[in-house]
Amino acid sequence: MVTLIRQEIFKLIHKRSTLIGTIALLVLMTIFAIFSKLQPSFSDPKGDFIAAYGGLSWVVFFMIAACSTIIAMEFQYGTVKELLYRKYYRGQILASKWITMFLYSLYFYVLSFIFSIILKLVLFNSKFSLTDLYSNDQSIMHTTLVTYAGNFVGLWLLLSLVLLLANVFKSSAAAISVGIVGYFATSIVSSLLFMLINKWEWVKWNPLNMLNLPTQLSNSTVVGTLTRLSNAELVWGNLIYTAIFLFLGYLIFRKRNV
Amino acid sequence: MNDILTVEKLNKSFGSKKVLKDVSFNVQPGKIVGLVGPNGAGKTTIMKAILGLFDFQSGNILVNGERISIVHHQPLSDVGALIEYPGIYPFLTGRQHLELFADNETTRKEDIQNIITKLNIESYIDRKAKGYSLGMKQKLGIALALLNKPKLVILDEPMNGLDPKATKELRDLILQLTKAGTTFLISSHILSELEKLVDEIVVIDDGKIIKQTSMEALSDSNGNYLVLTTSDDEKARKVFIDEGIKLEQTTEIRIKKTSDDQLASLIQLLSNHGVNIIDVQHEHSDLETSLLDLLDNKQVEE
Ligand SMILES: Nc1ncnc2c1ncn2[C@@H]1O[C@H](COP(=O)(O)OP(=O)(O)OP(=O)(O)O)[C@@H](O)[C@H]1O
Ligand SMILES: [Mg+2]
């Protein structure tokens, strides 16, 4: 199993998109931070820091792209035979890909965090300190960590769906589009969704509602009345849906003819 | 049972289409076995089934006496394979491919260098695989199949895209590895090449095994011939016919070979009648002829 994860990481490191993703993330965050510095009237330096200068949103796109290709690429290059005939179980092979993607998402989060701190020190050092109070009487640092955690859990709900679809369609294009649509869908249909929830209470358990977790964490009271779920329920809902999607992906992959 | 590979009554359908029908054959350790048959006969399908790449409806596949299935791959740790075309990551170099799949922690460096030298791919192994030609990819695929010194190697059309020199090098390498105890199952349409390699041949047509036989038995069953040139062909023919020796319907004097001392008695016979033999050729029917005969007659082995 360790061997398989090592192999996946080896491939990931040597893919050009990995380096491009990293550089792109840093550049985009820098651009965002500079804009926010130049236009102080439109920006909220503390809020920008908490959102990693847009980094947390960009990471969603990079991770959707990475997850949709990690399985589809093996079919595309014909390497799936090489991979599957060896002595390992299919479940192990799939799990090694999940774990690699998990580590990759952690890498992006840590990178966003460290680079946010650098940007803050360079551009906004005089404006605020990380121990200042932000919303809900919590320090900026604390709010940042909660925001990261909430986004991370929500990200993985989306990624588990992308991994499932990439597996069903054997193609990355379909998975990428669904992932990105899914990402925007929450904000687009959420008002409609909240209306439905108002009418039929049980609709609150659907996966789209779960994607409201990060918003609710930063703004518990307001959104909580709309999602009708507590923070804990949302977190569990996310985790359970993630597990279900991953498991469905496993069921398909286990018996796939190649 | 000490076969390294046993396939028993394997049945496989894709949807409603039966692709393999009661396929049974076996491979003994240290042998080179050729799997031949027309396009679409099911060669690749058999190989994929052996590698646990898909489910089959019924039957058994045993490697070293252990059952293989889509969910049980353990025995495949001793198997190396190249199926159809090599799977290649364009963003890795050839050497990185080998590093990726080298299993044996302690000997990986030597294993990798060893296979690079043997297949003569040093010159481009550190270039990205994106720029490889067909034959270069093929050699890398073969290198990957042989990398971890497997006991059983399954090669599907290994000569695909190889130039004559590379083909000969591959043949020599396979023969050398067989001496060291490796077993090969090879499918190929290049029969003249296969003929120089294999000990045994398994013929498949339309999903059914038609024959499993050793190479000698196959060429014997289709006959070897003696072709004679004499000082007086006309007279020679007459002598043979008078003696009741059957001649083939050809312009030369062609006699089916039945025993090893047959030639001596023929020479004796002709010289008794004052005819001199100028030249004798031994004609072996090649694999291609034998195979085409076999497929035409479809003499299914009981
Ligand atoms: N994934 C698949 N789905 C449906 N039918 C398939 C599939 N793979 C193979 N077949 C069918 O199975 C039969 C055997 O195919 P296979 O690839 O094993 O032939 P082959 O002997 O390797 O032929 P060739 O010499 O052309 O490589 C063919 O009729 C083919 O159409
Ligand atoms: Mg084939």
Q: Can you tell me which atom of ligand 1 is nearest the CA of B42?
A: 18
Spatial distance between the Cα atoms of B198 and B129, rounded to a whole number of angstroms: 31
Say if residue B100's pLDDT is above 70: yes
Say if residue B36's pLDDT is above 70: yes
**Domain at B224-284: CATH code:** 3.30.70
pTM: 0.83
Q: Which residue has the tokens 């909660």?
A: A146
Mean pLDDT in residue range B104-110: 84
pLDDT for the residue A107:
96
Say if residue A188's pLDDT is above 70: yes
Q: Report the sign of the C-alpha dihedral through residues B209, B213, B215, B220, in that order.
A: negative
Say if residue B286's pLDDT is above 80: no
| A178 vs A223 pLDDT, higher one | A178
Say if residue A234's pLDDT is above 70: yes
Enumerate the residues of chain B whose CB falls inside 8 A of the CB of residue A87: 73-77
pLDDT for the residue B300:
46
Mean pLDDT in residue range B270-289: 80
Q: Can you tell me which atom of ligand 1 is nearest the CA of B38?
A: 25
pLDDT for the residue A221:
63
* Count of domains forming chain A: 1
Say if residue A183's pLDDT is above 60: yes
**What confidence category does residue B89 fall into, taking pLDDT thresholds of 50, 70 and 90?**
very high
Spatial distance between the Cα atoms of A213 and A157, rounded to a whole number of angstroms: 11
Question: Containing domain of residue A81, as a range?
Answer: 2-255
**Domain at B5-218: CATH code:** 3.40.50.300
**Of the ranges A70-74, A91-95, B296-300, which one carries the lowest mean pLDDT score?**
B296-300
**Ligand 1 center to B251 CA (angstroms):** 43
Q: Which of A134-138, A185-189, B88-92, B192-196 has the highest mean pLDDT?
A: B88-92
Are both B5-218 and B224-284 of the same fold?
A: no
Say if residue B213's pLDDT is above 90: no
Cβ(A111)–Cβ(A17) below 8 Å: no
Say if residue B302's pLDDT is above 60: no
Mean pLDDT in residue range A65-88: 88
Q: Which of A38-47, A134-143, B61-70 has the highest mean pLDDT?
A: B61-70
Residues on chain A bordering chain B, Cβ-to-Cβ distance under 8 angstroms:
3, 7, 10-11, 14-16, 73-74, 77-90, 254-258
Best of B12, B21, B35, B43 for a ligand 1 pocket test (most atoms within 8 Å of beta carbon): B43
Spatial distance between the Cα atoms of B98 and B35, rounded to a whole number of angstroms: 27
* ipTM at complex level: 0.82
Mean pLDDT in residue range A184-212: 78
**Residue A237: exposure state from Cβ atoms within 10 A (0-12, 13-18, ≥19):** buried
pLDDT for the residue A224:
63
B positions 130-159 inside 8 Å of A (CB)? 144
Say if residue B190's pLDDT is above 70: yes
**What confidence category does residue B269 fall into, taking pLDDT thresholds of 50, 70 and 90?**
confident
| Alpha helices by DSSP H, chain A | 2-14, 16-38, 45-50, 55-76, 80-84, 90-123, 140-169, 172-199, 207-210, 213-218, 220-227, 231-254
Mean pLDDT in residue range A221-246: 82
**What confidence category does residue A62 fall into, taking pLDDT thresholds of 50, 70 and 90?**
very high
Query: Among residues of chain B, what percentage have pLDDT more than 90?
Result: 41
Best of B11, B16, B19 for a ligand 1 pocket test (most atoms within 8 Å of beta carbon): B19
Q: What digits encode the pLDDT tens for the residues B123-176?
A: 999 999 999 999 999 999 999 999 989 999 999 999 988 999 999 999 999 999
CA dihedral angle for residue A34, residue A36, residue A41, residue A44, rounded to 10 degrees: -150
**Ligand 1 center to B46 CA (angstroms):** 10
Long-range Cβ contact pairs of A31-35 (< 8 A, separation 24 or more): A33/A119, A33/A123, A33/A124, A34/A123
Query: Which residues form the pocket of ligand 1, taking CB atoms under 6 Å from any ligand atom?
Result: A 257; B 14, 19, 37, 39-45
pLDDT for the residue B301:
44
Query: Among residues of chain A, what percentage have pLDDT more than 70?
Result: 96
| B262 vs A61 pLDDT, higher one | A61
**What confidence category does residue B223 fall into, taking pLDDT thresholds of 50, 70 and 90?**
low
Give residue limits of the domains in chain B. Answer: 5-218, 224-284
Q: Which of A74-88, A135-149, B250-264 has the highest mean pLDDT?
A: A74-88
Three-class DSSP category at B245: coil
pLDDT for the residue B222:
63
pLDDT for the residue A244:
94
With b meaning 16 or more CB within 10 Å and e meaning fewer, what string describes A97-111? bbebbeebbeebbeb
CA-closest candidate to residue A214, choices A136, A152, A257: A152
pLDDT for the residue B218:
72
Task: Please state, rounded to an integer, the average pLDDT across all residues of chain A.
Answer: 85
**What confidence category does residue B182 fall into, taking pLDDT thresholds of 50, 70 and 90?**
very high
Spatial distance between the Cα atoms of B136 and B140, rounded to a whole number of angstroms: 6
